[in-house]
């Protein structure tokens, strides 16, 4: 028995000493010190020994097993430190390298346009409307009646406007002009406001049209406001938004709530007026609708048209953004495609 133990001891020491790294040390350890090792089997066989042999063999087994464990631990420390140092050398941190790039969100192109327009009109003395005067779910009264839109006008048709189910007088506003009516009913002139927001039309969605889009509406009501003021303000806006060299033209038009009404064109951004598919070969792009507030509209909201006059204008945020950046499909604004959005 003693011989067998010494034989295993010699063999174990040789193998532990011969190990060159943590892996081979682990193998030697398993072979000689694990539960299923030959050495452990000898320990288990102790109970079959004659009683007078037990103390001698027991003490020898304990001595050898402590010796082997001590040896394994020494080797382990050695290899562990060696391998740690090697890894540290290999994985050295280069503090001069660039850090990880963390992508940052930014403002949607439509919001950027709204912010820019609001800022331009801010310089021209217009303040932003209070949100409570500019609701998206609106009574027909503010969306149509108070804006002089006749009862039989096609814009009121369910083909064009979204009506709320079971509430025939409630609509998703089809224009930001509802804010004009609310502002005028709730304040006294001078009124000089700008009102951006979402509007809804019952349209078939295409590259040119979406059933949700954004408008900006402006309103100026005071004593002695004239068409000359309208022209001056809108020309200044176009100069600041598109650049000073861009010619404009005013064409007479019709809107229910303004009289007279005009549409304002800017020279085509794509072809510089030569004519192209974007401007339908006219050289001009329509960008604003405007006009002098109809005296009937003023009267209906409690402002005396004999004392006050005003002008109103409206423009499409998508259209202005599409023209500025040569975007050819309105749906891109609403698809949340990061590849599109991160260009702005
Ligand atoms: Zn053109």
Has residue 193 got a pLDDT over 90?
yes
Ligand 1 centroid from CA 285, angstroms:
8
Pick the CATH number of 109-341 from 3.30.930.10, 3.20.20.70, 3.80.10.10, 1.10.490.10: 3.30.930.10
Compute the distance between CA of residue 284 and CA of residue 114 in angstroms, rounded to an integer. 23
pLDDT digits (tens, 9 = 90+) for 78-87: 989 988 988 8
pLDDT band at residue 236 under the 50/70/90 scheme: very high
Compute the distance between CA of residue 28 and CA of residue 37 in angstroms, rounded to an integer. 10
Has residue 53 got a pLDDT over 90?
no
Please give the residue that has the higher pLDDT: either 100 or 296: 296
Per-residue CA distances from 167 to 6, 137, 164, 202, 205 (Å)? 99, 11, 5, 17, 25
Has residue 52 got a pLDDT over 80?
yes
Ligand 1 centroid from CA 288, angstroms:
17
Has residue 111 got a pLDDT over 90?
yes
Q: What crossing angle do the helices spanning 317-325 and 109-123 adopt, rounded to 10°?
A: 100
Average pLDDT over residues 110-134: 93
Q: Where are the domains of the chain?
A: 2-90, 109-341
Ligand 1 centroid from CA 267, angstroms:
8
Has residue 93 got a pLDDT over 80?
no
Ligand 1 centroid from CA 58, angstroms:
102
Structure confidence at residue 158 (pLDDT): 75
- Percentage of residues in the chain with pLDDT exceeding 90? 47
Ligand 1 centroid from CA 331, angstroms:
21
* Upper half-sphere CA count for residue 235 (Cβ side, 13 Å): 11
pLDDT band at residue 139 under the 50/70/90 scheme: very high
pLDDT band at residue 310 under the 50/70/90 scheme: very high
Q: Do residues 255 and 293 touch, judged by C-beta distance below 8 A?
A: no
Structure confidence at residue 312 (pLDDT): 96
Ligand 1 centroid from CA 120, angstroms:
25
Q: Do residues 39 and 97 touch, judged by C-beta distance below 8 A?
A: no
Has residue 20 got a pLDDT over 80?
yes
Ligand 1 centroid from CA 302, angstroms:
44
CA angle 123, 175, 260 (to 5 degrees): 75
């Amino acid at each position: 028995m003693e011989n067998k133990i010494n034989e295993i001891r010699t063999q174990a020491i040789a193998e532990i000493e011969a190990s060159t790294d943590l892996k081979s040390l682990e193998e030697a350890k398993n072979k000689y010190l694990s539960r299923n090792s030959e050495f452990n089997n000898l320990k288990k066989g102790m109970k079959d020994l004659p009683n007078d042999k037990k103390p001698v063999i027991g003490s020898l087994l304990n001595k050898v097993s402590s010796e082997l464990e001590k040896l394994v631990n020494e080797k382990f420390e050695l290899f562990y430190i060696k391998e740690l140092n090697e890894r540290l050398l290999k994985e050295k941190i280069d503090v001069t390298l660039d850090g990880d790039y963390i992508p940052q969100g930014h403002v949607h192109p439509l919001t950027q346009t709204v912010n820019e327009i609001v800022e331009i009109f801010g310089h021209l003395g217009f303040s932003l409307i209070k949100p409570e005067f500019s609701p998206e779910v609106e009574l027909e009264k503010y969306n149509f009646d108070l804006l002089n839109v006749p009862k039989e006008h096609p814009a009121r048709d369910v083909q064009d406007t979204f009506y709320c189910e079971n509430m025939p007088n409630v609509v998703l506003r089809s224009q930001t002009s509802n804010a004009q009516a609310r502002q005028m009913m709730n304040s006294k002139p001078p009124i000089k406001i700008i009102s951006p927001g979402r509007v809804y039309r019952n349209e078939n969605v295409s590259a040119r049209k979406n059933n949700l889009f954004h408008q900006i509406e402006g309103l100026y009501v005071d004593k002695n406001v004239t068409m000359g003021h309208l022209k001056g303000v809108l020309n200044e806006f176009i100069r600041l938004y598109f650049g000073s060299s861009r010619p404009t033209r005013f064409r007479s038009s019709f809107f229910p709530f303004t009289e007279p009404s005009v549409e304002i064109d800017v020279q085509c951004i794509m072809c510089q007026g030569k004519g192209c598919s974007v401007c339908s070969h006219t050289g001009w792009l329509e960008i604003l609708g405007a006009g002098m507030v109809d005296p009937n509209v003023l009267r209906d909201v409690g402002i005396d048209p004999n004392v006050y006059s005003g002008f109103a204008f409206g423009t499409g945020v998508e259209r202005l953004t599409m023209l500025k950046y040569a975007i050819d499909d309105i749906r891109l604004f609403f698809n949340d495609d990061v590849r599109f959005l991160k260009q702005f």
